[in-house]
């Protein structure tokens, strides 16, 4: 880090007073004291340029998204965010990039009361790695393994817009200006569902966040739970922008899209009112999209109950 200097860079852009943690940036270790009786929830995500984000993304949006994907993992477990570490590889220490990145990162961190407590900084191809720490009452984590036949399947928000934006960037889809802005916002500025996730503790029997596409991510829940599911493709919540696209493209974006960072979760049918109340309290729409059944995979049906063929695989970094 010749130009700005590694320590000057850390000091200027990534050192802020901590409130919740015992010790933040600047020593050999950060110190974090979990609340008595709670369990720490820990998750790591790495974002690499060209793989997880495009070089066209604005620095503040990159800062936002890097933290959003980590917060989303805590949301899926029902953990309350506490703190995170940030490991950065940068081709050069460019002030305007760093200022924008830090701005987007801390705006979301402040919103979710999640503190930056440490990290690592090195020169290299642009990549961002965040490890996030959350807490929840011992035994209260919502796991992928808890879905049982008869449970309802829900998803928060809408699906598919991030994939639609990616297709527009790739040039396979033409969008008008307003539609493109909407889709791009979904791709670059996902809003993690942390408040909803906390409210789903003791209510959802299983949950996962949609990072690689609904079918793939729901598939992880089904495998871990040893069950199957029936999903109504016509019930999948979508934006007006996606609804205006051809049906085949809609379904591809909805089922295999990825980068949505919505929560897919299951709950007992007897808890429908409680799920609706949790959704209302968190200000996030929640839609019932199907049911868990015996079996081992997702069956797709339309609103009339007719079977729908699906050739959609979810994103896999070593296949896709």
Closer of 22 and 122 to Mg ion (Cβ): 122
Closer of 26 and 320 to ligand ADP (Cβ): 26
Task: Check binding of 26 to ligand ADP (CB under 6 A).
Answer: yes
Q: How far is the CB of 221 from ligand ADP (least distance, A)?
A: 33
Query: Which of ligand ADP, Mg ion, none does residue 119 bind (CB under 5 to 8 Å by kind)?
Result: ligand ADP
Closer of 95 and 120 to Mg ion (Cβ): 120
Pick one of 19, 28, 283, 317: the residue that binds ligand ADP (CB under 6 A). 28
Closer of 106 and 261 to ligand ADP (Cβ): 106
Task: Check binding of 121 to ligand ADP (CB under 6 A).
Answer: yes
Number of Cβ atoms within 10 Å of the Cβ of 80: 21
Q: How far is the CB of 86 from ligand ADP (least distance, A)?
A: 4
Q: How far is the CB of 170 from ligand ADP (least distance, A)?
A: 31
Task: Check binding of 234 to ligand ADP (CB under 6 A).
Answer: no
Task: Check binding of 101 to ligand ADP (CB under 6 A).
Answer: no
Number of Cβ atoms within 10 Å of the Cβ of 94: 14
Distance in angstroms (rounded) separating the CA atoms of residues 107 and 16: 13
Query: Which of Mg ion, ligand ADP, none does residue 86 bind (CB under 5 to 8 Å by kind)?
Result: ligand ADP
Q: 24-27 contacts: CB < 8 A, separation 24 or more?
A: 24/115, 24/116, 24/117, 24/118, 25/116, 25/117, 25/118, 25/119
Name the segment binding Mg ion (CB under 5 A); options: 79-87, 112-120, 153-161, 172-180: 112-120
Task: Check binding of 93 to ligand ADP (CB under 6 A).
Answer: no
Task: Check binding of 8 to Mg ion (CB under 5 A).
Answer: no
Task: Check binding of 120 to Mg ion (CB under 5 A).
Answer: yes
Task: Check binding of 102 to ligand ADP (CB under 6 A).
Answer: no
Cα 312 to its chain centre, rounded Å, is 20
Q: Which residue is nearest to Mg ion (CB)?
A: 120
Q: How many residues bind ligand ADP, per CB under 6 A? A: 13
How would DSSP label each residue in the chain?
A: -TTT-HHHHHHHHH----SSSSB-BTBSS-B--PPTTEEEEEEEEEEEBTTTB-TTS-HHHHHHHHHHHHHHHHHHHTPEEEEEEEEEEESS--HHHHHHHHHHHHHHHHHTT-EEEEEEEEESSSEEEEEEEEEEETT----GGG--TT-EEEEES--SHHHHHHHHHHTSS---HHHHHHHHHHHHS----HHHHHHTTTT-SEEEE-SS-HHHHHHHHHHHHT-EEEEEGGGS---HHHHTS-HHHHHHHHHH------EEEEE-GGGHHHHHHHHHHHT--EEEEEEEESSSSEEEE-TTS-B----PPPP-TTT-
Closer of 28 and 177 to ligand ADP (Cβ): 28
Query: Which of ligand ADP, Mg ion, none does residue 242 bind (CB under 5 to 8 Å by kind)?
Result: none
Q: How far is the CB of 304 from Mg ion (least distance, A)?
A: 59
Task: Check binding of 25 to ligand ADP (CB under 6 A).
Answer: yes
Q: How far is the CB of 82 from ligand ADP (least distance, A)?
A: 15
Interface residues with ligand ADP (CB under 6 A) are 10, 14, 25-28, 86, 88, 116, 118-121
Under the rule (CB under 5 A), what is the footprint of Mg ion?
120
């Amino acid at each position: 880090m010749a130009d700005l200097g590694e320590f000057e860079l850390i000091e200027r852009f990534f050192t802020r007073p901590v409130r919740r943690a015992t010790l933040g940036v600047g020593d050999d270790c950060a110190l974090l004291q979990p609340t008595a009786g709670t369990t720490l929830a820990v998750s790591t995500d790495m974002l690499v340029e060209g793989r997880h984000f495009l070089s066209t993304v604005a620095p503040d949006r990159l800062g936002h998204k890097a933290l959003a994907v980590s917060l989303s993992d805590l949301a899926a477990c029902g953990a309350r965010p506490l703190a995170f570490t940030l490991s950065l590889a940068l081709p050069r220490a460019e002030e305007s990039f760093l200022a924008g990145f830090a701005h987007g990162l801390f705006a979301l961190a402040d919103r979710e009361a999640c503190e930056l407590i440490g990290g690592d900084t090195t020169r290299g191809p642009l990549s961002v790695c965040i490890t996030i720490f959350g807490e929840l009452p011992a035994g209260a984590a919502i796991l992928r393994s808890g879905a049982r036949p008869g449970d309802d399947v829900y998803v928060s928000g809408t699906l598919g817009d991030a994939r639609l934006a990616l297709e527009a960037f790739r040039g396979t889809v033409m969008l008008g200006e307003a539609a493109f802005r909407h889709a791009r916002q979904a791709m670059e500025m996902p809003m993690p569902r942390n408040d909803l996730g906390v409210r789903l503790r003791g209510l959802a029997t299983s949950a996962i966040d949609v990072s690689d596409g609904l079918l793939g991510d729901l598939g992880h829940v089904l495998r871990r739970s040893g069950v199957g599911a029936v999903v109504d493709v016509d019930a999948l919540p979508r934006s007006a922008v996606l609804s205006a696209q051809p049906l085949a493209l809609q379904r591809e974006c909805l089922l295999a899209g990825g980068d949505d960072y919505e929560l897919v979760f299951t709950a007992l049918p007897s808890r429908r009112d409680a799920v609706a109340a949790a959704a209302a309290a968190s200000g996030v729409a929640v839609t019932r999209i199907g049911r868990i059944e015996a079996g081992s995979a997702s069956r797709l049906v339309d609103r009339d109950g007719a079977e729908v063929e699906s050739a959609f695989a979810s994103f896999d970094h070593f296949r896709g």
